[in-house]
Amino acid sequence: MQISSRFSVAVHTLLCVVVFKESYKVTSEFIAGSVGTNPVIIRKIMGQLKKAGLIEVMAGTGGTNHLKKPEDISLLDIYRAVDLFEDDQLFGFHDQPNPDCPVGKNIHTVLNHHMVEAQQTLEQKLSNVTLANILEALPK
């Protein structure tokens, strides 16, 4: 299955915070209007970004700040904040291979190694792109 759109929404959310925080009070409703979804969805994602130390949210009064500079926030940071799988494994694996079969007995060890490597290259690619890079590429 596809990677959830939470990731793109989270990036969108952070972009809104960085771009608009000087001019507007960036509330969940404000962001939801830009993303095209429900404020509660945004609040949940803001909660994950907050837990990851990427933003702070003003309880009561409302509004959001980013806690790191855009050049210090990578896409991987955002991805990890909102898309956590079981055991951090991007690839799913069938969990009942037959231990009495020479193939079933060893496939997990052998195949998993390649899956982990593939996942790592993907994550490294994401870690090389920062929010600042995205901002530069956004037409003003």
Partner DNA sequence: ATTGATGTAACCATTGACATTACACCGAAA
Partner DNA sequence: TTTCGGTGTAATGTCAATGGTTACATCAAT
Which residues of this protein are in contact with DNA, per CB under 7 A? 1, 4-6, 25, 27-29, 36-41, 43-44, 46-47, 50, 57-64, 92, 94, 96
Shortest distance, CB of residue 28 to a copy of itself, whole angstroms? 15
Q: How far is the C-alpha of 11 from the C-alpha of 134, rounded, in Å?
A: 9
Q: Take residue 8 and report the two structure tokens written for it.
A: 């793109």
Check residue 57 and report its DSSP letter. E
Shortest distance, CB of residue 54 to DNA, whole angstroms? 13
**Is 59 or 137 the residue whose CB approaches a copy of itself more closely?**
137
Q: How many residues sit in the footprint of a copy of itself (CB under 8 A)? A: 57
Burial class from Cβ neighbours inside 10 Å (0-12, 13-18, 19+) for residue 110 reads exposed
